Amino acid sequence: MNSGKTVFRQLLQYLPRHEFNACVRRYRGEYWVQKFTTFDQFLCLAYRT
């Protein structure tokens, strides 16, 4: 079994979460969000590519 972090998780370490959240607030990205947050959507899109 793998006991370390996945490659995807290691790549996400370099994403400054506070800057992502600042952009979401600036452009009101979560105005109509009910359950699926913008960060969750970003993770899905990043994992897919």
**Cα 5 to Cα 2, 9, 42, distances in angstroms:** 8, 6, 19
pLDDT tens readout for residues 9-30: 999 999 999 999 999 999 999 9
Mean pLDDT, the chain, whole residue set: 92
Distance CA 14, CA 33 (A): 25
3-state secondary structure of 49: coil
Question: With bands split at pLDDT 50, 70 and 90, how would you rate the model's confidence at 1?
Answer: low
Whole-number pLDDT of residue 44: 95
Question: Where are the chain's structural domains?
Answer: 7-48
Q: Report pLDDT for 3.
A: 78
22: helix, strand or coil: helix
User: What global pTM score does this model have?
Assistant: 0.79
Residue 49 confidence (pLDDT) above 90 = no
Q: What is the pLDDT of residue 33?
A: 87
